[in-house]
Amino acid sequence: MPSTRSGPLTGEESSALVLFSGGQDSTTCLAWALSRYQRVETIGFDYGQRHAVEMEVREPVRQRIAGLSAEWSRKLGPDRVVSLDALGQVSISALTADLPMEKRPDGLPSTFVPGRNLVFLTFAAITAYQRGLKYVVAGVCETDFSGYPDCRDDTVKALQVAINLGMESRLVLETPLMWIDKADTWRLAERLGGQGLVDLIVEETHTCYLGDREHRHAWGVGCGTCDACRLRAGGWSRFRG
């Protein structure tokens, strides 16, 4: 199935599965996919405490993004959530049983697992393969988070090769945010969905590590002090500044 990126994609070629967490980045990726492919489905992973809030905002975000345009509404297909308790089982805390199940100083849960995105991308690829979706879209990014080696471009490209060898597939892992910063992510959202999408991201999506849904700011809802909130707020300042 040859395809060039210069012409429009059609049929099976024009379908995508978006790794959708309910945060700013993956919501922007969902809009990116809806503006580009004919059929778009979403997948999320449930594996720990912090993500409970993200899980709750998923459906409101999906409904509101579909409400932004009749075309997007027509393209948006089903969502699925995969429970990955196994990530907790292989986490440092579960293995050594001597770490408390609380937040680490960096705001991540102590169940954080190196290589977690390898698992997410692999499960998403298996799902995409079985659903007949060609593109797997993930909001991973090198620019702001240099600390996570499984978010890097080299990792994603090597993993695409391993996945396609392992399933005899021709999936494509797309990472539209890989080389842009948080200000450009806001700009991308505005270009894709205008003020309506920017408002949606501000009001509905969740980024805060502490799960704060009480404090409202120009750039969104959150504690305003954790690393994730500061990154989002900083990007907003450069976007609107």
Q: x/- string (CB under 8 A) for a second copy, residues 79-108?
A: -x-xxxxx--xxxx--x-------------
Smallest separation (angstroms) from a second copy to the CB of 114: 5
SS3 (DSSP) at 63: helix
Instruction: Enumerate residues 142-201 that contact a second copy by CB under 8 A.
Output: 149-150, 152, 154-155, 158-159, 161-163, 165-169
119 with 85: CB under 8 angstroms?
A: no
229 with 208: CB under 8 angstroms?
A: yes
Q: Is 43 or 188 the residue whose CB approaches a second copy more closely?
A: 43
Q: What number of residues does the chain have?
A: 241
Residues sharing a CB contact under 8 Å with residue 45, sequence separation 6 or more, in sequence order: 19, 21, 51, 81, 82, 83, 84, 120, 123
Q: x/- string (CB under 8 A) for a second copy, residues 53-82?
A: ---------------------------x-x
Measured in degrees and rounded to the nearest 5, phi and psi for residue 209 equal -65, -30
Task: Return the residue of 126, 178, 183, 210 that touches a second copy, per CB under 8 A.
Answer: 126
Size of the site for a second copy (CB under 8 A): 40
- Of 124, 144, 122, 236, the residue nearest 190 (C-alpha): 236
Task: Return the residue of 69, 127, 225, 237 that touches a second copy, per CB under 8 A.
Answer: 127
Strands (E), 68-147: 76-83, 135-137
| Binding region for a second copy (CB under 8 A) | 80, 82-86, 89-92, 95, 113-115, 117-119, 122-123, 125-127, 129-131, 149-150, 152, 154-155, 158-159, 161-163, 165-169
